[in-house]
Amino acid sequence: MDRTKIDRIIEHYGADKSELVPILYDIQAEYRWLPEDVLKYVAKSLDLSLVDVYGVASFYEAFSLEPRGKHLIRVCLGTACHVRGGPRILETAERLLGIRSSETTADLKFTLERVNCLGCCALGPVMVVDNEYYGKLPSKRVERILHNYGFSSSTEQKHD
């Protein structure tokens, strides 16, 4: 844990308790997830109990309490995508990567997430890898896209 980095983030928000969410955001942007020792340190720095910090970190979907992969794959299952075949996209990605949604491959290459609407419904069904959008996506194209991000069959192991 890099304390100076975390101190800088906390300081940026004036060590204000009500800024806990943005603070956790910025920390997650650094680490890609929120390790336990970091949460403890944040709690101490903001004079909060760990349960307050853990409560917030575990309540919101945006925060991850487990290490996340190098590439974040988000499959939209908003209503528009749902009626246009989004579930099949998710299923294909799950099958290829050998993980369920919200899981990370053992080699920490990919994290798979389902999201509830990306607000670009005209493109449904949509899959987003990092910040690249793949719209009007047939399920058979999923494999080719994942290959572009270094997917190979060796990735097909579940993270535990």
Partner 1 sequence: MTRKKIKSSSDLDKLRQKILAKRDPKIPCITVCAGTGCQAYGSENVVVALQEEVENQELGKVYIRVTGCHGFCERGPLVVIYPQGICYTEVKTEDVPDIVSQTVREGQIIDRLLYTEPNTGEKIVHESGIPFYKYQTRLLLENNLKIDPKNIEDYIALGGYSALAKALFEMTPEQVLEEVKKANLRGRGGGGFPAGRKWETTRNALGNPKYVIVNCDEGDPGAYMNRSLMEGNPHSVIEGLIIGAYAIGSPEGFIYVREEYPLAVENTSIALAQAREYGLLGKNIMGSGFDFAAKIHRSAGAFVSGESSALMTALEGKVGEPKPKYVHTAVEGLWGKPSNLNNVETWANVPLIITRGADWFTSIGTEGSKGTKIFSLVGKVKNTGLVEVPMGITLREIIYNIGGGILGNKKFKAVQTGGPSGGGIPESLIDTAIDFDELTKLGSMMGSGGMIVMDEATCMVDVAKYFVNFLVEESCGKCVPCREGLERMSEILTAICEGRGEEGDIKLLEELAEVMKDASLCGLGTTAPNPVLTTLRYFPDEYEAHIQEKRCPVHVCRALIGYYIDAGKCTGCLACLKACPEGAITGEKEEVHIINQEKCNKCGICYDSCKFDAVIIK
Q: Name which position in 24, 38, 39, 112 contacts partner 1 (CB under 8 A).
A: 24
Q: Name which position in 95, 100, 144, 158 contacts partner 1 (CB under 8 A).
A: 95
- Give the distance, in angstroms, between the CA of residue 144 and the centroid of all CA atoms in the same chain: 22
Nearest Cα residue to 131 out of 120, 143, 116: 120
Q: Which stretch binds partner 1 (CB under 8 A): 2-10, 104-112, 137-145, 149-157?
A: 137-145
SS (H, E, C) 120-154: CHHHCCCEEECCEEECCCCHHHHHHHHHHCCCCHH
Is residue 23 classed as helix, strand or coil in its secondary structure?
helix
Can you tell me which residue has the tokens 């990306």?
Answer: 118
Q: Which stretch binds partner 1 (CB under 8 A): 1-9, 31-39, 116-124, 146-154?
A: 116-124
Q: How far is the CB of 114 from partner 1 (least distance, A)?
A: 9
Which residues bind to partner 1, rule: CB under 8 A? 16-22, 24-25, 52, 55-56, 59-63, 77-80, 82-84, 88, 91-92, 95, 115-124, 126, 133, 135, 138-140
